[in-house]
Structure 1
């Protein structure tokens, strides 16, 4: 059986999942990158040794290596954003990006109406904003839960009349401005003709070929059930969706972390330190996400992420070229309790405690891979000292190199 790998961020996102997936695809003959949560709000930066750069949202981060992408049923698919992403990939040297893409017909479809509704909801919160990428992913998930059977899915793009009915009902329910329904139907029909739409059995077939890399979006500390409510995403960010797609087929669970802890927008960041000097070439303040915040490595929060995710087999540690030397090893409130999945009131209570928590630090850390492995009791398999695959070093043997 081929050696499959699940790549998941054990923080608040932005840890470097894209560059880790790119490295994995450079090391082995990977059959496909499977996206297993999130949607167009992902921002996975990959830089090649020759300087070419792309921020991967829905395409998998192995695309520069010619590795196909499969968008599973757990992804919220935005065809308009995909078209823009494909155009940029073409500009940076990827021929025919849509030819590398398969999409599950059961995946939910994000539309301009969802985007408008989601942005309006976030603006209405005023100073109490929860944090959003402004891509309508949360609104798409919420509508599907409230209106089962009426939510547009990718497979509807093959049946224009059915798609039009669903889009008209969606626009009427959300009561938002947006393009004419006929224009959306035409765009989505063109999308369906350019990509390969498949059934869920396609993933099963993939697993019997070359190794598959499952690429997660966002981070476990933003998980819809285990994150710090209400500053969370409408997405399962743990290994769970990938494990469901694997359906018992073995895979290595690879957690990704930085040598310091970050988050975009509002919510707890116990170790936040605005004076921490880091170089962020691809992160900054966004109109919807809010400011990019940095803090010292938070072993307490990352141990919690490991606990709610069911553990990991290995870690990838990025940004080791940043001169940081402080690690949070405990809080004054103790370790974070793992609550019952779905108990959002309980998670909100935990959030309140976190916003008052005070960190206790270990100073003088110089061997970050060893310190992180010791603090989290998980081996560090990969170290990254820069943005390209050439800046990475294999530190462990959990994921074997290509066997010829």
Structure 2
């Protein structure tokens, strides 16, 4: 019987969705890993022995050798994708990537918009063009993954239209921006496939992007991401594929983090240890990573919120970064009974333990 495993972050992102996805990929190496929200701004770190990779344009099973699939709810940036593909090749990762025809394509002009718009900067943009891409695709100036295999002349005309949409009229400037973008597109063997591609797998691992508290419907506006970061999209795909056996893996750190501006509870300075492998410590656009004590009321809120979007046969909890602070995690403070509670005691998924075994 087909099974789906859905990985969801319960905070503002950076909870440990990458290491959790790698843990599941290690258990089921014949799976496919599916990104169902976000895009190139979702940076998930996986470490296997002496190899480390930050997955953005590929799902977090790639270093372990699993194929990736990006759904229609995701964005892709061809140049970023090409660069990451070359990195994965050098690390002997799996560069097989299938993309839904209606996934949104980020252009250099979307990135420019994200990085120069004052409101975006105030709200905490990653500077990867995702928000601008999603907003633009509500206009007539759309660009989808299927357009990447259309005649080149047609693609160029669509790109020029997007440049005009943003008010860029200088032909030389447009050509300068488009040249490396088009070169990257030509060097990729695009696999554009609808959801029928997923029918060839018995186990599907759905990897969430940012956390539930950044959801575009449920986060504290305007400091949200332009995506549904709950199980909403993943569950709809499961229903489409007639998958009823669904396992949830809810992820939280043993303390709270947030990148960028916006509200967070219990914010305070923290002295951490064993965090040398922290990937996203500083971003030019979001600035430094913020910390805080764990808010169990907020965790309960996030769990109940996501439960409104999915019917699961099994619910698990993953608590990461337990080796970085002395304070003990208290699962008894949560209002949900989990089938299993896992703890992460290092940056390596091989060091996952059940709480009962710790």
User: Would you say same fold, with TM above 0.5?
Assistant: yes
Structure 1: 5+ residue stretches without partners: 326-365, 397-404
Superposed CA RMSD: 2.1
Could you say what secondary structure the match of 1:303 adopts? helix
Tell me the distance in 1 between the aligned counterparts of 2:298 and 2:52: 31
Q: Out of 219, 236, 246, which is 1:227 matched to?
A: 219
- Determine if contact 1:114/1:136 at 8 Å carries over to the other structure: yes
Could you say what secondary structure the match of 2:293 adopts? strand
How far 1:280 sits from its partner (Å)?
Answer: 5.1
Q: Out of 384, 388, 394, which is 2:348 matched to?
A: 388
- Determine if contact 1:157/1:185 at 8 Å carries over to the other structure: no
Tell me the distance in 2 between the aligned counterparts of 1:314 and 1:60: 21
Tell me the distance in 2 between the aligned counterparts of 1:138 and 1:171: 16
**1:249 alignment partner in structure 2:** 243
Matched, 1:136 2:95: no
**2:47 alignment partner in structure 1:** 47
Give the TM-score normalised by structure 2: 0.89
Matched, 1:217 2:209: yes
Structure 2: 5+ residue stretches without partners: none
Tell me the distance in 2 between the aligned counterparts of 1:224 and 1:67: 29
| CA gap 1:101/1:232 in 2 versus in 1, 3 angstroms | same
Q: Out of 250, 272, 285, which is 2:267 matched to?
A: 272
Tell me the distance in 2 between the aligned counterparts of 1:275 and 1:67: 36
How far 1:186 sits from its partner (Å)?
Answer: 4.3
Tell me the distance in 1 between the aligned counterparts of 2:50 and 2:100: 33
Comparing 29-38 with 255-264, which one deviates more in the overlay? 29-38
**2:319 alignment partner in structure 1:** 317
How far 1:268 sits from its partner (Å)?
Answer: 1.1
Tell me the distance in 1 between the aligned counterparts of 2:47 and 2:343: 16
Tell me the distance in 2 between the aligned counterparts of 1:74 and 1:107: 6
Could you say what secondary structure the match of 1:74 adopts? coil
Tell me the distance in 2 between the aligned counterparts of 1:324 and 1:258: 13
How far 1:305 sits from its partner (Å)?
Answer: 1.4
- Determine if contact 2:25/2:31 at 8 Å carries over to the other structure: no
Comparing 234-243 with 375-384, which one deviates more in the overlay? 375-384
Give the TM-score normalised by structure 1: 0.79
Q: Out of 105, 111, 132, which is 1:109 matched to?
A: 105
Tell me the distance in 1 between the aligned counterparts of 2:286 and 2:337: 31
Tell me the distance in 1 between the aligned counterparts of 2:320 and 2:180: 43
Count of matched residue pairs: 340
How far 1:188 sits from its partner (Å)?
Answer: 2.1
Any residues of structure 2 matched to 1:111-260 within 5 Å, and which?
Answer: 111-121=107-117, 124-125=118-119, 129-147=122-140, 150-159=141-150, 160-176=152-168, 178=174, 179-181=176-178, 184-191=181-188, 194-203=189-198, 205-206=199-200, 209-247=201-239, 248-250=242-244, 251-260=246-255
Matched, 1:375 2:334: yes
**Post-superposition CA distance 1:268-309 (Å, at most 9, x none):** 121111144353522312101221011111112222212221
Tell me the distance in 2 between the aligned counterparts of 1:19 and 1:219: 15
**1:305 alignment partner in structure 2:** 302
